[in-house]
A and B are shown apart, each in its own frame.
Chain A
């Protein structure tokens, strides 16, 4: 089992750092899956325990100049690691000006993801910093726990307004309530609403647009106007939603929110080379 990757391009390093930053804001600990083509950061708290799930997919080719992987076995050319993204972030943050950066799996005092950066120095010799980030190697029998989360049948899918706008609204609402009602319909309308004994606050978004796939499932084309304006709603923990919005470093090219009424809300953010899915379970 071996892994080694190298970044030389400043922009790639910067982008990769941003993604790791996002991940580290979403979770303290996550699983990193390495395959020949992709990297996946994932988090699967059991939904039953009120947790959220995350699935972030990166195509290695758009970040790494070298990417060598020799998986657990020839017929399972993959590696699964338990990682504290904060550690990786710290290693990347202090090496932003590196001439080149290597990430490799090493055997030190424990299995480590070693980040070795070649920093600019005052002399012709290079200045090398290495960070050994302890990781847990996940044995093969547990791999089945880390499948891409299945997307439940959604009632409504809708494009999100600029995440920053949403964040600003929710940051205010958070001061008033712990829970938020997120509702949307197939007519491009979305509401963020809080209701307490003292106050009801609601923010309305319109003309957001619905992704085309919605109408293809089932009776889509024949939907009447009543059906189109029917709101699907979900109650969520406002802190979890806030955390998700606060973690975003860049505005994605596409951001879609899908609601399964009273069950779960699913966000998918699409960037050029990265996709991030995030599931927040409904609260009772």
Chain B
């Protein structure tokens, strides 16, 4: 493979690399007939991202016609090539990417001003093709927005927030922070942002639904989207099915596929706001509605004044148990094709290993589609001791996966 990127496209490529490195530790590079694909998947395999640069993106694009080349590189080392975006813009005129399979070298050559050449030789591993299977065209809900709208939206949520819940109906989209069931609600600040349908360029909602996905990965995409000012399209269905954020341009296609929490893991506070929730009609004068006195009464009569002001989160008595049928629904898997048997076995071993440990966040794993209920979900009248059991086992996995 040999390709050359020039001018402002170098910066686009650099931003793409930065965006990918926010998500995954390894970058999968694959020259294809329809362009150069850069992909990554996050460590819990709940998020996958792919940038496909069409041949027209490059000044020169040669890819091996007869052999298949796929390689896996440490994301950090590629990021290092494009370290400073600002100086890159000023100094780099041309970037050449060569993949030499005989020497097992991936070479980035930056042609800078004044004839300066910077060459980065990176080693890589052969790898299977990383390809998430998703079908965004079959999604019933599609929203398209200018990146600014989404950037302004996520701005309202704290950087530490892991997941955000998006619920849609025909008129509006509501974003709010997703709260883990075990968080103390009296400590958690809840944020809700309502966007009306007219703020979107396209707003197709066939089924009212509510999905929860990772915010960090979305932020990674938005950084890229904002710099390229390309509209972002969001494709999604029901909870548990992946949500796809996508940008398209004549020479570029970007897809971020994020796992969503499946329905049974939605916390109790969603049950009343589930699919049919209408925007709360703003009362003309809600001063009289917000009466706090009942709290005070509770407090004054209770012996433990401190505790009653922070009621425990109500337990949903009917958290459905994990059903087998879930496994049939998984449309979203990553195909891995390996050229040699050994690798395949290795891959399988990896599979087992991956499968053996619960995904961090009870997300449906993109690869294996398994949802592992923690013991706290199994019993509803969970006493605290049981919750501790569950969190212990999670701690172990946290140690396993850095």
Contacts and interface: CB of A to CB of B under 8 A. Distances in A.
Interface centre among A3, A123, A127, A133 (most CB of B within 10 A): A127
Contacts of B195: 121, 127
A131 interface: yes
Interface in A118-166: 121-134, 136-137, 139-142
B72 to A, nearest CB: 39
B400 interface: no
Contact of A90 (B149, B158, B187, B188): B158
B156 interface: yes
Interface in B175-217: 185-196, 198-199
B293 interface: yes
Contacts of A133: 189
Contact of B291 (A2, A72, A109, A125): A2
B292 interface: yes
A111 B287 contact: no
A123 B146 CA distance: 13
Given A111-B309, A128-B194, A129-B192, A94 B156 contact: yes
Contacts of B310: 110, 134, 136
Contacts of A104: 286-287, 290
Contacts of B293: 1
A142 B305 CA distance: 10
Contact of A87 (B149, B189, B194, B290): B189
Nearest to B145: A122
A107 interface: yes
Given A110-B309, A131-B189, A137 B291 contact: no
Contacts of B193: 127-130
B316 interface: no
A122 B199 contact: yes
Interface centre among B155, B269, B309 (most CB of A within 10 A): B309
A58 interface: no
Interface stretch (B295-303, B329-337, B339-347, B385-393): B295-303
Contacts of B186: 109-110, 134, 136
A134 B158 contact: no
B311 interface: yes
A109 B292 contact: no
Interface residues of B, number: 37
A80 to B, nearest CB: 11
B7 interface: no
Interface string A1-44: 11110000000000000000000000000000000000000000
A123 B198 contact: yes
Given A1-B291, A94-B155, A127 B309 contact: no
Nearest to A79: B292
B320 interface: no
A90 B189 contact: yes
A141 B301 CA distance: 12
B288 interface: yes
B295 A107 contact: yes
A105 interface: yes
A137 B292 contact: yes
A87 B177 CA distance: 14
A137 B189 contact: no
A111 B198 CA distance: 33
Contacts of A131: 156, 189-192
A107 B198 contact: no
Nearest to A104: B290
Contact of B191 (A72, A123, A132, A140): A132
B194 A127 contact: yes
B64 interface: no
A107 B191 contact: no
A87 B305 CA distance: 24
B313 interface: yes
Contact of A123 (B156, B190, B199, B295): B199
B194 to A, nearest CB: 5
Interface string A225-264: 0000000000000000000000000000000000000000
A44 to B, nearest CB: 17
4 tightest Cβ-Cβ pairs between the two chains A and B: A123-B198, A125-B196, A132-B190, A110-B186
Interface of A: 1-4, 68, 72, 87, 90-91, 94, 104-112, 121-134, 136-137, 139-142
18 contacts: A2-B292, A90-B189, A91-B191, A107-B291, A109-B311, A110-B309, A110-B311, A111-B292, A111-B295, A112-B190, A122-B198, A123-B199, A127-B194, A131-B189, A131-B192, A133-B189, A136-B309, A137-B309
Given A121-B199, A131-B192, 11 more contacts: A90-B158, A107-B290, A107-B291, A108-B190, A122-B199, A128-B193, A132-B191, A136-B186, A137-B292, A137-B295, A139-B296
